[in-house]
Structure 1
């Protein structure tokens, strides 16, 4: 039997899913660590991106921070934490993954608020809106697609990278891959990789739907192609009546 057949056997065994320390337990650990890391990164990155984007300052610093943060390996951070009071723990994994998730959120939030049309802001100001009202009712809705893109990118990266926690004694689906490697069970390794890939894809899909639901304005189904009018078909007006 091939390694892919062994992986299918592993995934189809109910005992591997329901036993203590099985797939469901490890999945819960993986999701918990990933969610905490993304939430911690969002608490830091999104407000900072909003402040810098509205002020128009710090673009160079954001680029440098983003590039430097991406160059620091998550596994290296986990190893450094081993000699600190944090040690090898879930907290260390959450902190390392949060550092990894901050750059895309910060960059996209900054760009999203910087790209808001100045004419729209001037119109809102002329209507008597306060600074807070402009933020909540004009800037944030317009910047939301880019903000959500940053959150989605960070979340998928975190879900995929959280497998490294198993290398330093952490939990999550990476433990399946780690155990398979230690036992030279390549079928189990493939099964773990499939689970992580499926979870990353599911995370992408869920956040695309969330972004679609939250984005104001005219909507079309996610992943749907752009509708092309037939040649000669008149364009409708706002009232739906041809010009």
Structure 2
């Protein structure tokens, strides 16, 4: 309990809120690093995931590659990339963490498209929609909650793991942990960890809101209508999906 109080004392110390090494500056650096990583990972993973989900091809390869990328030790990869490139800038951890963020985003993309019911897809094709129109107007809107869920998972991993990048002379909240270890400043280490946790929770909450907002209204209305119609039947041995009320 004393350590926690000391950590919060460090967080709310005005001296730690000013300058290039202060909490606001380090938090902003961490956010920018995380956003850049997510953008790069999404630019790679989403097109591949959408292609796999739309065509149904190479899913086994994607699952295998995703599993292999998840198994890579992030800290070891950061150090290895820094050594082979002779680069101690932001580049090695950016590459390593982009690799880390690809699997959940890729899984969310192809799983989202695979989860779409075939009925609306077949209906869209029957009225003459092209493959691209089916994807853009039917599959993607219905799959978007799971796609956002994949990005949400990737964001949490990236925010938490960017702290290890501070083993190199880069910014971010990991500086408080690495610098604190060097001088045995435990309130600084614990305080930095608390800020990382808070940032991850805020990010998760924002993505959860977005995930709810992107659910198509027709899908929600359809579930409510199905529930209402199902309640009129005489048999109650099985309940329709969504029939549970709080």
Q: TM-score over 0.5 for the alignment? A: yes
- Matching of residue 98 in structure 1 with residue 91 in structure 2: no
In structure 2, the residue matched to 1:112 is: 112
In structure 1, the residue matched to 2:194 is: 194
Compared CA separation, residues 108 and 187, structure 1 to 2 (3 A): same
> Deviation per CA, 1:212-238, whole angstroms, max 9, x where unpaired?
222212699xxxxxxxx9xxx989xxx
How many correspondences in the alignment? 224
List alignment gaps of at least 5 residues for structure 1.
221-228, 236-243
SS for the counterpart of 1:198 is: helix
CA contact (8 A) 2:20 2:26 kept: no
TM-score (norm 2): 0.85
List alignment gaps of at least 5 residues for structure 2.
221-226, 234-246
- Matching of residue 58 in structure 1 with residue 63 in structure 2: no
CA contact (8 A) 1:166 1:172 kept: yes
Compared CA separation, residues 161 and 125, structure 1 to 2 (3 A): same
In structure 2, the residue matched to 1:28 is: 28
In structure 1, the residue matched to 2:45 is: 45
In structure 2, the residue matched to 1:241 is: none
Q: Distance in 2 between matches of 1:219 and 1:16?
A: 49
In structure 2, the residue matched to 1:226 is: none
Moved more, 185-194 or 113-122: 113-122
CA contact (8 A) 2:29 2:171 kept: yes
Which ranges of 4 or more aligned residues in structure 1 deviate by more than 3 Å? Answer: none
> Deviation per CA, 1:66-124, whole angstroms, max 9, x where unpaired?
11101101111111112233612112221111100000111121111112222211101
CA contact (8 A) 1:173 1:196 kept: yes
TM-score (norm 1): 0.86
Question: Hey, which of these two has a bigger chunk of helix by percent?
Answer: 2
> Deviation per CA, 1:9-35, whole angstroms, max 9, x where unpaired?
111112201222111111111111110
CA contact (8 A) 1:33 1:93 kept: no
Question: What's the C-alpha RMSD, in Å, of the aligned pairs?
Answer: 2.0
- Matching of residue 18 in structure 1 with residue 13 in structure 2: no
Q: Distance in 2 between matches of 1:21 and 1:217?
A: 46
CA contact (8 A) 1:212 1:219 kept: no
Q: Distance in 2 between matches of 1:85 and 1:185?
A: 32
> Deviation per CA, 1:135-188, whole angstroms, max 9, x where unpaired?
111000111111111000000110000000111222110111111111111111
